[in-house]
Amino acid sequence: MTIPGRVFLVDDQPALRKAMARLLTLENFVVVTFASAQEFVDSGNLSAMGCLILDLSMPDMSGMELYQMLLDKKCSLPVIFLTGHGSIETGVKAMKLGAADFLTKPVQKEELLSAIRSAFEKNRLSREAGLKRDEFNQRLASLTPRERDVLHQIITGRLNKQIAADLGTVEQTVKIHRARVMMKMKVHSLAELVKTVEEFKSA
Amino acid sequence: MTNTENNAPHQKDNQPHGPQYARTPVPDDCNEAGLEPLSGMPVTGKDGQQYIWSRVADIAERQLVEQERAAALELLSINKAKLKAIFESSPEPIIISDDTGNITMANRQVTRLLGYAIDELIGKPIEMLMPLRYRPAHVALRQGFEIGTGARTMAFNREVKACHQDGHEIDVEISLSSIDDQSGRLIVSSMHDLTERKNTERVIRESEYRFHQLMENMSEGYTVIDPEMRYAYQNKTAAAHSRSEPGQLIGKKIVEVHPQGENSELLLLLQRVMASQVAEIVETSFTYQNGSVAWFELHVAPVPEGVSVLSVETTQRRQTELELEQKRSFVTYLSRLAILGELSGAIAHELNQPLMSILMNAESAKVLLARKNHSASEVDEILTEIVEEDVRASGIIQRLRTLFAQQEVINHEVDINELVTDVGKILKNELVNRGIRLQLQLDATIPTLNIDRIQIEQVLINLIMNACDAMETNGAPVEYTVICTTSTEQHGVKVSVTDSGAGIAPELLTKIFDSFYTTKKQGMGLGLSICRTIITAHAGALWAENNAGAGSSFHFTLPLRVQP
């Protein structure tokens, strides 16, 4: 019973790629290996589901360079760094940039597996969050400009009659707009609407 | 011989030979008639003429004698002139003195030798020509001659001192002879100036003295060995070198003296030089009976008496050299440790790769074995890979251990290309971490070299690391590539490390090899200095130059054969 999602492994050491892939496969992961960062970039898996295990020091494009590229492209694939000799400096840098984990070779099996699992979980959550955001954006897009204006007004806590005065209409009209907003955004209460909008405000 | 001249008239010749009477008048030149008028009286002859009655003597016989005498005198005068000429022309000074010791004659050479004019000498005692201190004794000696006791010992050659008019003494050889004539005994003193001979002798003596002094006091030992391998001569230093008293070994055979006996290296060397007549220089050690060891440089050369051995003790020098070598190799070792310190991260990385693979594989095997239907071949494959990775790890450790541990210089046949490739492996992770590519351009035709692998590796690591540093300090490098090339030279191999970094200021191209000179923030300034020492010890050369484009190149050469 394989775990959904794939483990992408980028390391220039063939023996290590093979050994890791073997273990992870036995642990029911789907593993795809690459000998260089470029190979992975070319594979078109930048936004795939799962996680990326990345060796820091490789010839040509280093692990850190690839990671920077993923960040630039806003890829959601979590990255676990693997290094033969990790310095605190690079570790801190990687974690600050949002790496899922920073492991030093030789890493114990449980540590590795748990890092992968959390990365998977992180990916799952971020993917779910992504789906919800997409949904929210769709709902938001379905509002008319006037409904969108009303939405902005009601989440700041203004009363219908205040909104009507602002928009130069009557309270009844605002009530209708308000009902349509609640319906289109698929919420049942004002509190729920505020929470949803707050959650995706940044988008 | 003025006193031999006797002009006294012969009185008895005046006696008439009996009365004779002549009837003829006495002619004016009656001598021509062999007559000599003695006395006369006038008489009147029968013819009435006036005659002189004269008594005459017949002197014809006497005239004959006188003629002979004149002839003899003439001959004598000629002989005297001849003698005088010989006397005067003699190259040697000659003085003639009479039996009272007074000078009667002296030739020109006397003037030349002793300064006095001849006039100043005539009539003066012979002793005036001697130094004061000898004068009294000479008088006695001379008187001994005069009474005849010294007659036989007169004609000797004897070295004496003469005194010049100006007072300085002159060495002369004098030979005496005596002439007896009617007036007494004359002593002929012929002198030979010895000044020059004495000078020559003195010069030779002084030279010999100096030579002797030199021989005895020189710091090198000098020994002469005769063809029977016996000590013929030994100076003081040589005796000390043999740990013997001066002269103690003379006449003894080497085999009796030398602890190693007949087959000693020394004896073989001496016999070889004796046979070949070709000089040899060797440095060798001697073990004395008390077990102590000393080193000597021996210059063995053929000489007419056998062979000579000039020995210079080099124990001290060798010790200093040895200590220097030890210090050098210790510094080299320290510098190696420093490099390893710098590389430790890369080394750890290198080592962690196989460790990681092994761990992953072992865990995989555990997972597999926990399953009921695991395949043995799969486990076997895993185990094989574990072994392979283990071998790889120990290879890394092996490389490090040699780099760490070795202090002694050991030359081996080394393939320089293999060495360069290995250095590439050691530095691989360091280079990767720094984002630098190492490009190797190796000449496959290079023969093996007899070198100390670890030290040359150290040099190459140093040069490559420097090249990396040079490119990091450069603001905007065109390319982060270090090129390492090997090529065949006329008498060896050249290895070059080229970077595309900032290059080296021309005035620093030689200075960078000085000890404690560094341009790095964290550097001792010993790396290149040690590199050069190592290469020089291999009879090679190490130098730097700036490239035509960016960066600089370091080259070192190694000869095909390095003398141990």
- Partners of A16 on chain B (C-beta within 8 Å) are 353, 356-357, 360
Q: Is residue B325 part of a domain?
A: no
Split into its structural domains, chain B has a count of 5
Is B287:B295 a contact under the CB 8 Å cutoff?
no
CA distance B426 to chain A (A): 14
Contact between chains at B360 and A22 (C-beta distance less than 8 A): yes
What separation in angstroms does the CA of B32 have from each of B28, B37, B59, B94?
A: 9, 12, 10, 47
Provide the sign of the torsion angle of the four alpha carbons B99, B104, B110, B111, taken in this order.
positive
Q: Is the pLDDT of residue B27 over 70?
A: no
Q: Is the pLDDT of residue B431 over 90?
A: no
pLDDT band at A16 (very low <50, low <70, confident <90, very high): very high
Q: Is the pLDDT of residue B231 over 80?
A: yes
Q: Is residue B324 part of a domain?
A: no
Contact between chains at B345 and A83 (C-beta distance less than 8 A): no
Q: Is the pLDDT of residue B28 over 70?
A: no
- CA gap A197, A133 in Å, rounded: 10
CA distance B366 to chain A (A): 10
- Partners of A26 on chain B (C-beta within 8 Å) are 364, 367-368
- CA gap B511, B506 in Å, rounded: 10
Domain check: are B417 and B515 in the same one?
A: yes
Domain check: are B193 and B302 in the same one?
A: no
Q: Is the pLDDT of residue A134 over 90?
A: no
Contact between chains at A106 and B358 (C-beta distance less than 8 A): yes
- CA gap B314, B294 in Å, rounded: 8
- Residues B398-403: what's their mean pLDDT? 71
Q: Is the pLDDT of residue A92 over 80?
A: yes
Q: Which residue has the higher pLDDT, A144 or B511?
A: A144
Q: Of A15, A84, A106, which has the smallest distance from its Cβ to B350's Cβ?
A: A84
Closest CA to A70 of A97, A36, A91: A97
Give percent above pLDDT 70 in chain B: 85
Q: Is residue B319 part of a domain?
A: no
pLDDT at A20 (0 to 100): 94
What separation in angstroms does the CA of B15 have from each of B35, B56, B66?
A: 13, 12, 15
* Residue in B closest to A14 by C-alpha: B357
Q: Is the pLDDT of residue B21 over 70?
A: no
CB contact set of A77 (below 8 Å; sequence gap of 6+): A8, A45, A46, A47, A48, A50, A51, A52, A70, A123
Last residue of a domain, one of B393, B408, B423: B408
Is B230:B252 a contact under the CB 8 Å cutoff?
yes
- CA gap B118, B404 in Å, rounded: 101
pLDDT in tens, B36-68: 777 777 788 778 888 777 777 777 888 888 888
Q: At what angle do helices B376-405 and B453-473 cross, to 10 degrees?
A: 90
Q: Is residue B509 part of a domain?
A: yes
- CA gap A111, A127 in Å, rounded: 24
Last residue of a domain, one of B377, B408, B439: B408
The reply to whether B539 touches chain A by the CB within 8 Å rule is no
DSSP string, B532-543: HHHHHHTT-EEE
Q: Do domains A6-131 and A142-199 have the same CATH topology?
A: no
Contact between chains at A22 and B364 (C-beta distance less than 8 A): yes
Task: Output the six-digit token pair for B528.
Answer: 């290149």
pLDDT in tens, B468-500: 888 776 555 456 777 878 888 777 888 999 888
pLDDT in tens, B549-563: 888 899 999 887 644
pLDDT at B138 (0 to 100): 83
Q: Which domain holds residue B50?
A: 2-73
pLDDT at B479 (0 to 100): 63
DSSP string, B431-450: HHHHT-EEEEE--TTPPPEE
- CA gap B499, B550 in Å, rounded: 8
The reply to whether A98 touches chain B by the CB within 8 Å rule is no
CATH architecture of the domain formed by A142-199: Orthogonal Bundle (1.10)
Q: Specify the residue for token string 């073990």.
A: B287
Local structure of B387: helix, strand or coil = helix
Query: What pTM value is reported for the model?
Result: 0.49
Domain check: are B440 and B550 in the same one?
A: yes
Contact between chains at B359 and A57 (C-beta distance less than 8 A): no
- Partners of B367 on chain A (C-beta within 8 Å) are 23, 26-27
- CA gap B41, B46 in Å, rounded: 16
- CA gap A66, B424 in Å, rounded: 25
- Residue B175 is classified by DSSP as E
Q: Of A15, A26, A59, which has the smallest distance from its Cβ to B357's Cβ?
A: A15
Domain check: are B396 and B414 in the same one?
A: no
Domain boundaries of chain A, sorted by first residue = 6-131, 142-199
B160 pairs with which residues across the strands?
A: B172
Domain check: are B130 and B47 in the same one?
A: no
- CA gap B56, B35 in Å, rounded: 6
Torsions phi, psi of B188, nearest 5?
A: -100, 120
* Residue in B closest to A90 by C-alpha: B433
Best of B359, B378, B425, B479 to mutate (most A CBs within 10 Å, chain A): B359
The reply to whether B226 touches chain A by the CB within 8 Å rule is no
The reply to whether A36 touches chain B by the CB within 8 Å rule is no
Which of these ranges, B17-21, B248-252, B506-510, has the smallest mean pLDDT? B17-21
Which of these ranges, A190-199, B10-19, B259-268, has the smallest mean pLDDT? B10-19
CA distance A76 to chain B (A): 26
pLDDT at B326 (0 to 100): 75
pLDDT at B30 (0 to 100): 57
pLDDT band at B278 (very low <50, low <70, confident <90, very high): very high
Is B452:B409 a contact under the CB 8 Å cutoff?
yes
Question: Position B166: which residue type?
Answer: D
Q: Is the pLDDT of residue A19 over 90?
A: yes
CB proximity under 8 Å: B 377-406 to A: 382, 385, 388-389, 392
pLDDT at B224 (0 to 100): 93
Q: At what angle do helices A171-184 and A145-155 cross, to 10 degrees?
A: 90
Which of these ranges, B184-193, B296-305, B472-481, has the smallest mean pLDDT? B472-481
Q: Of B349, B358, B363, which has the smallest distance from its Cβ to A84's Cβ?
A: B349
Topology at the third CATH level for domain A6-131: Rossmann fold (3.40.50)
Contact between chains at B352 and A85 (C-beta distance less than 8 A): yes
B161 pairs with which residues across the strands?
A: B171
Q: Is residue B274 part of a domain?
A: yes
pLDDT at A30 (0 to 100): 94
Torsions phi, psi of B40, nearest 5?
A: -160, 165
Is B493:B555 a contact under the CB 8 Å cutoff?
no
Contact between chains at A15 and B350 (C-beta distance less than 8 A): no
pLDDT band at B100 (very low <50, low <70, confident <90, very high): confident
Domain check: are B403 and B422 in the same one?
A: no
Domain check: are B556 and B419 in the same one?
A: yes
Domain check: are B302 and B178 in the same one?
A: no
Q: Of B352, B432, B437, which has the smallest distance from its Cβ to A106's Cβ?
A: B352
CB contact set of A78 (below 8 Å; sequence gap of 6+): A51, A52, A99, A100, A119, A120, A122, A123, A126
Domain check: are B521 and B390 in the same one?
A: no
Task: Output the six-digit token pair for B374.
Answer: 């695991």
Contact between chains at B360 and A57 (C-beta distance less than 8 A): no
Domain check: are B424 and B559 in the same one?
A: yes
pLDDT at B3 (0 to 100): 43
DSSP string, B455-498: HHHHHHHHHHHHHHHHHHHSSS-S--EEEEEEEE-SSEEEEEEE
Best of A9, A33, A85 to mutate (most B CBs within 10 Å, chain B): A85
Q: Is the pLDDT of residue A32 over 90?
A: yes
Which of these ranges, A95-104, B96-105, B419-428, B525-534, has the smallest mean pLDDT? B525-534
Q: Of A27, A87, A105, which has the smallest distance from its Cβ to B356's Cβ?
A: A105
- CA gap B421, B265 in Å, rounded: 45
Task: Output the six-digit token pair for B259.
Answer: 């602890």
Contact between chains at B364 and A57 (C-beta distance less than 8 A): no
- Residues A12-39: what's their mean pLDDT? 92
CA distance B450 to chain A (A): 34
Is A179:A171 a contact under the CB 8 Å cutoff?
no
pLDDT in tens, B64-98: 888 888 998 888 888 888 888 888 888 889 998 88
Q: Is the pLDDT of residue B323 over 70?
A: yes
Parallel/antiparallel/unpaired status of strands B412-414 and B449-451: antiparallel
Contact between chains at B432 and A20 (C-beta distance less than 8 A): no
- Partners of B351 on chain A (C-beta within 8 Å) are 84
- Partners of A20 on chain B (C-beta within 8 Å) are 356-357, 360
- Residue B52 is classified by DSSP as E
The reply to whether A20 touches chain B by the CB within 8 Å rule is yes
* Residue in B closest to A11 by C-alpha: B353
* Residue in A closest to B348 by C-alpha: A85
DSSP string, B9-27: --GGGGS-SS-EEESSPPP
Length of chain A: 203
pLDDT at B325 (0 to 100): 73
CB contact set of B61 (below 8 Å; sequence gap of 6+): B17
pLDDT at B10 (0 to 100): 44
Q: Which residues in B227-247 are b (16+ Cβ under 10 Å) and which e?
A: eebbbbbbbbbbbebbebeee
Give percent above pLDDT 90 in chain A: 25
Task: Output the six-digit token pair for B43.
Answer: 């008489």
- Partners of A109 on chain B (C-beta within 8 Å) are 359-360, 363
Closest CA to B83 of B155, B4, B154, B1: B1
Domain check: are B194 and B234 in the same one?
A: no
Q: At what angle do helices B376-405 and A14-26 cross, to 10 degrees?
A: 140
CATH code, domain carrying B112: 3.30.450.20
Q: Is residue B11 part of a domain?
A: yes
The reply to whether B365 touches chain A by the CB within 8 Å rule is no
Contact between chains at B346 and A85 (C-beta distance less than 8 A): yes
Last residue of a domain, one of B385, B408, B431: B408
Please report the ipTM that was assigned to this predicted complex: 0.75
